[in-house]
Structure 1
Amino acid sequence: MESRQQRLIITPLVLLLLASLFFAAAGAHDDATPGLHPVILLPGYSCSQLDARLTDDYEPPTPACGVRKQGRGWFRLWENYTALQVDPALLPCFHDQLRLGYDRAAGDYRNAPGVETHVVSFGTTRSFRFDDPALKNGCMQRLAEALEGVGYKEGSNLFGAPYDFRYAPAAPGVAARSFAGFRASLKRLVERASETNGDKPVILVSHSFGAFYATQFIDRSPLPWRTRYLKHFVMLCAGGSGSPGIMQVLASTMGSSTPTRLAMFGDRSFESTLSTFPSPEVYGDTHLVVTRAKNYTAENIPEFLAAVGFSDEEVERYRRRAMPLTLSFKAPIVPMTSINGVGVPTVDKIVYWDGNFTEKPQVVNGDGDGAINLKTVQALEKLVGDDPDQRYFKSVLVPNTTHSGMISDDSALRIVVGEILEANLATSG
C-alpha cells in the first residue's frame, strides 16, 4: 500500500488562521458535539496520579512513614503536593513507598512489600487535572479544556487513559503485568468510547512518554481491531528513539542516598527508567557521553549503566526487557500525525571530562523541544517513509515550542486542537 507522508512547518500565517478558527469555536459548545470522533488522552511521564494503601507487611524506613497510614485505607501517593508542602519530612516516606522491587521468581517488577497501588480515575481526564494553578500547565489539563472548547465533553466523547508511569512496556514474551493490565483496560475503554458515540472509531492523543504506551498498545492490537476502532493517532513530543537527556539524569543520581523530589520523578528502581535510552538504530556510534578515558554511545549503553552504578542484574534487565523494544521500534500502522516542537536547545551530548559522574557536566545542545531531539523526529519520519504499509503520516514542526509548552501554550494548543479536528475529517482511517 502506498505510503502518504506530509511534513508541515507551522508559519505565522498558518498560526493566525488556526488561532481564528480556535477562538471562533471556543466556548461555543456546552454539550458534546455529536459529529466528533471520541478522543482518549494518554498523558506524559509522571502525570498520572496514584493512590496507595499500606498493609501490615510494610516495613517503613522510619516509624513516621507507616504508623499513621497502615490499615487506614487509600491515600494519595503521587503526587501529594499538599502533604509534602506541609511536612517535607515525609519525602523519604513517599520515596520509599513509590519504589519498585524486582521479583526474580515472577520475572517482573512489583511494588515494595506491603504497598498496594492503583491509578486514579482511569477512563477520565480527572487524573491529570489539578486545582493548583501552578500545576495546570504541566500535564494535559489545558489540552482537555481546549478540546472542551471546541465541542468535546468529559465522559461523553473525551476520555483519559492514565497509567502507572513507574512501570513500562517490556519486550514481547517477557512478563509485564502492569502493562498487560493497562492494555486490557485501554482496549475496553476504546471499545466503549466508540460504541457510545455511534460506533465512530477513536482518536488516541499522547504526550511524551504516553507515546511509548500508545505505540506498544497499537502494535500489539490485531489489525482488524485497529481498523474498526482506531481512527487516528496524534503523537505529541515524541520521536523514533529515546533521548540522551536520560543519561544525564541517571548520572546525576549516582551515589546519592538522600531522596529529593526530583529523584522521585526518575527513581532508579522504576522499570520506566530503562525504557527511554537513545536507540542504536538512530544514534549509531555517535558519542553521547564523553569522558577523557571513554566515550559512550547508544550502542554501549549497558557499559554506561555499569559505569553509573547499576548492578550486573539491572544491566541484564535492560538488555532483556527494554533494549529489544528500542531496537525494534517502528511507527504503528494506523493513520498518524506527529507534532513536535523545534528551535529550543536540547541535550545532544554530555561531557564528564574527568569521568566523575557526580559532578555537573558540560552539556552540548542541538535542536529540539528541550527534551526530544530533532534527530529522533527525523528518524521517525524516515521510518514511516520506508514503511509501505503506513497509510497516512503527517509530521508537524512547531517553532520555538518546548516539551511542556506543546500542551500549555495557547499558540501550540491551537495547532494541536486543529490537527485533532483535521483527523476527525480525514477519510484515511
Structure 2
Amino acid sequence: MLKIVMFILSVAVAEEFEELDDESIELIEFLDGITRRRDLDPVVLVPGLAGSHLEYRNRTGTKWNTLWLNFGRTLPGLWQAYKKVLQVNYDPVTETYSSNPNIVTRPVDYGGLKGVDYLDPVVKTVTKMYHPLIRTLQETGYEEGKNLFGAPYDWRLANAKQVMSNGMYAQLKDLIERAFSINKGKKVHVIGHSCGCIFLRQFLSDYVTKEWKEKHIASFISTSGPYSGSVEAFAHLAAPRKWVIPTLSPNDVHELVQNFAGIYWMLPNMNAFPPSKVVARIPSLKTVITVENMTAAFATTGRRMKLQGVEMTQKHISHMEPPRVPVHIFVSNGKSTTKEVIYDGTANNWWKKAGTDVIQDGDGTVPIESLLAPTKWKTMQNEPVDLTVIPRESHLGIVGSKQYLLAVRDIVSR
C-alpha cells in the first residue's frame, strides 16, 4: 500500500510539471539523425552536485531504498522523515562528513548508467542528468558496461579533502582501469558536469600519477565546470533560498543543504576571482562579504557549523593545477547569473530571508569568470586545451543541446 501511495504522490508532482514523458519529441527526432560508428573509445560519466542517484538501507536491514531523489517524499507530511535520512553530520576534529549513523548509503548502479541517467525514475523529465548524452552515445553504438560507464558518487560527502581518502577516487580509478581493460587498451574519456568537473580535475591532478594518465586517459571533457565556485553556493548557505525542488520551501532547502560537503566545495574561491571579489553586501552592518572573508557571514551570526565548513574548505581546497591530459572545455553564457547578493534585513536578522541578486553573465548558475578559469591551462600544460562556448544554454541544459551532443560524439568516436 505504501508503495502505491508513494507512486501516486510522485505522479502528482510530475503532473504539476506535465513531465512524465521519458523523452521529448525533440530528442527523439534528433536521435533519428544519429548514425552508428565503429571506432568507439570508452567513456566514463561523472555527474555534478546533486546529480548522482543514491540509495540507502537501515544499518541492521538488507533492503535498499531511494535516498536521492524521491520527489514523492518531498511533499508535506513526508518531508521531515525524508530529511532525516538525507542529512549528514560534520566532525570538525576529523574534518569529515558522514551520513546518519543509522543508515548505510551507496551510489546507485556504480559503473552502470542508472545512477547518472535520471535522479527519479518516476519523474523523469525534470530529473534528467546525462540522459540526452547517454542516448546519443547509444545511438552511435555505445553499450552500457562495455564502453559506456557511469560514476555516481555521494556528493553529500564529497569535498576537496575527503575524496582523497574516502574511497571515491579509488573506486573511480578502478572503473577507468576496468574500462581500459575491457576495451583492449583503448584510452578512456572522462566526462564531468558541474561539480563533477572539479571532482575530476583534482583526481587527475592530485590522485593519479603522470604515468597512469598517459596510459589510461584519452581526454577530460569538462562541462559547466565551476572552477572558481559559484555565488549561488554561498547564497544557499547564507540564508533561506528557493532551489530546484518546487515542493520544498526556502527554509526547508536551507536546513537541508547546510551540511552537504559538495556545496562548500562550490563556494567562490581565488582560482579566477581576486580576494576582494564581492560575494554579498549587508547594508545594515555596513559589511561587504568577499571571497577572502566569507567566514564573516557565519562567525558574526553564531552559525558555527557553517563557519567550520567554510574554514575547512578554504584550508583544503585544491587549486588550479592542470590535469595534464587533453582537455575539452564546454561552457555556456548569456544567462542571468548571480554576481553578488544584497541582504536588506536588520543587523539581527539579515540572514533570515533570501537577499536580492545582482546579476551578471554566466550559465544561470556559475559566473563566466569561474567557467573560463580552466582556459589558463593552455599555458600550464603541454597537452591541448580547447574551449567551446554554446550561448544561451543553462547550466544543466547544455548537456542536452545538439551542439554539445554532436561535439562530444565526435571527440569520443569516429
TM-score range, shorter chain: 0.7 to 0.9
Among 116, 119, 122, the residue aligned to 2:104: 116
Among 291, 300, 310, the residue aligned to 1:298: 291
Q: Which residue of 2 aligns with 1:126?
A: 114
Q: Which residue of 2 aligns with 1:61?
A: none
Report the AA paired with residue 80 of structure 1. N
CA pair 308-207 structure 1, distance change in 2 beyond 3 A: farther
Q: Which residue of 2 aligns with 1:143?
A: 133
- The structural deviation recorded for 1:234 is 0.5
Mapped to 1, the partners of 2:115 and 2:351 lie a distance apart of: 36
- The structural deviation recorded for 1:247 is 1.8
8 A Cα contact 2:339 2:360, kept in partner: yes
TM-align CA RMSD: 2.8
SS at match of 1:384: helix
8 A Cα contact 2:325 2:383, kept in partner: yes
Q: Which residue of 2 aligns with 1:13?
A: none
CA pair 290-75 structure 1, distance change in 2 beyond 3 A: same
Report the AA paired with residue 403 of structure 1. H
Q: Within 5 Å, give how 1:157-196 maps onto structure 2.
A: 157-171=147-161, 176=162, 180-196=166-182
Q: Which residue of 2 aligns with 1:251?
A: 238
8 A Cα contact 1:241 1:376, kept in partner: yes
Report the AA paired with residue 41 of structure 2. H
SS at match of 1:399: coil
8 A Cα contact 1:241 1:326, kept in partner: no
Among 339, 355, 374, the residue aligned to 1:348: 339
Among 229, 248, 265, the residue aligned to 2:216: 229
Which deviates the most, 331-340 or 104-113?
A: 104-113
CA pair 34-187 structure 1, distance change in 2 beyond 3 A: farther
Mapped to 1, the partners of 2:333 and 2:145 lie a distance apart of: 33
8 A Cα contact 1:253 1:358, kept in partner: yes
Which deviates the most, 292-301 or 210-219?
A: 210-219
Q: Which residue of 1 aligns with 2:21?
A: none
Mapped to 1, the partners of 2:45 and 2:388 lie a distance apart of: 19
Report the AA paired with residue 372 of structure 2. Q
The answer on 1:209 being equivalent to 2:198 is: no
SS at match of 1:367: strand
8 A Cα contact 1:91 1:260, kept in partner: no
**Residue deviations 1:142-188 (CA, integer Å, cap 9, x gap):** 111111122222121111000001011333xxxx2686311111111
Among 394, 399, 409, the residue aligned to 2:386: 394
Mapped to 1, the partners of 2:82 and 2:287 lie a distance apart of: 37
Among 269, 275, 279, the residue aligned to 2:265: 275
SS at match of 2:321: coil
Among 132, 152, 155, the residue aligned to 2:142: 152
**Residue deviations 1:181-240 (CA, integer Å, cap 9, x gap):** 111111111011111112100001111111121112111110100010000010101143
**Residue deviations 1:19-62 (CA, integer Å, cap 9, x gap):** 9xx76861x44xxx552110111112212122112246xxxxxx
CA pair 177-328 structure 1, distance change in 2 beyond 3 A: closer
- Which structure exhibits the higher relative contact order, with contacts defined as CA atoms closer than 8 Å and separated by 6 or more residues? 1
Report the AA paired with residue 418 of structure 1. A
**Residue deviations 1:100-128 (CA, integer Å, cap 9, x gap):** 11345654222122111111100011113
Superposition TM-score, scaled by structure 2 size: 0.81
Structure 1 gaps of 5+ residues are 1-18, 57-70
The answer on 1:415 being equivalent to 2:404 is: yes
- The structural deviation recorded for 1:424 is 4.7
**Residue deviations 1:255-285 (CA, integer Å, cap 9, x gap):** xxx9759628962122222111111342220
Q: Which residue of 2 aligns with 1:336?
A: 327
8 A Cα contact 2:227 2:271, kept in partner: no
- The structural deviation recorded for 1:251 is 2.3
Structure 2 gaps of 5+ residues are 1-26, 242-246
The answer on 1:40 being equivalent to 2:44 is: yes
**Identity fraction in percent:** 24
Among 44, 50, 57, the residue aligned to 1:53: 57
8 A Cα contact 1:194 1:229, kept in partner: yes
SS at match of 1:282: coil
8 A Cα contact 2:71 2:123, kept in partner: no
SS at match of 2:303: coil
The answer on 1:240 being equivalent to 2:240 is: no
Mapped to 1, the partners of 2:264 and 2:237 lie a distance apart of: 10
SS at match of 1:185: helix
Report the AA paired with residue 194 of structure 1. F
8 A Cα contact 1:49 1:119, kept in partner: yes
Mapped to 2, the partners of 1:370 and 1:330 lie a distance apart of: 26
CA pair 112-331 structure 1, distance change in 2 beyond 3 A: same
8 A Cα contact 1:169 1:179, kept in partner: no
Report the AA paired with residue 379 of structure 1. A
